[in-house]
Amino acid sequence: MGIDELDKPMGVWCNHFKAGQGCTVYGFHPQSCRTFKCMWLISPTMPEQIRPDRCKVVLTIDQGGARIVAATDPGDPGAWRREPIHGQLKRWAADKNRTLWAMVDRHAWLILPDRDIDVGETDENAFMTYDQAPDGTITVVIGDREPIVSRRP
């Protein structure tokens, strides 16, 4: 995750992280770190297998619950595609009131019930949306970039 107070960009380990120990400045860490809550922490029904340190994916929810982002450990970029996390993402994707995105560093995928669409490099805070036509064609819009079109598989 990006942390503005530490000038830490997305996809880069925090200077205060130490393997096997975690945050070396815990208790003195920035306010954004103190208030951040991933879905595993805020949802008591989340399975233990989806705990971020086990599955290598941190799930965040924003836009009033309308967007879930699966931020994946860059050291294990395929983690979001493994079970049980991938199946859970697919189940959530069936809810038409929210969009699901996987992020590895700055690379993003739109997750839909029937496919995952590689949308390339983006910013975690970029405007990202999609539209599905009656024939199943998906058009993805990321910021002011040229739309990405995906036909039904």
The per-residue pLDDT string of the chain (153 residues; one tens digit each, 9 = 90 and over) reads: 778 888 887 767 788 888 777 788 888 888 988 888 888 888 888 888 888 888 999 998 876 778 899 999 888 999 999 999 999 999 999 988 888 999 998 899 999 999 999 998 887 677 788 888 888 888 888 888 887 888 866
Give pLDDT, residue 141.
Answer: 86
Tell me the two tokens of residue 2.
């990006």
Tell me the two tokens of residue 44.
């008591």
The CA radius of gyration of the chain, in Å to the nearest whole number, is 16
8 A C-beta contact, residue 74 and residue 104:
yes
Angle (nearest 5°) at CA 108 between 119 and 2: 145
Give pLDDT, residue 136.
Answer: 85
Question: How far is residue 139's CA from residue 95's CA, in Å, rounded to a whole number?
Answer: 18
Q: Which stretches does DSSP call E strand in the chain? A: 17-18, 22-23, 57-62, 67-72, 99-104, 107-111, 116-121, 128-132, 138-142, 148-150
Tell me the two tokens of residue 45.
């029904």
CA-wise closest residue to 58 among 75, 44, 37, 78? 37
Domain segments of the chain as ranges: 1-36, 39-122
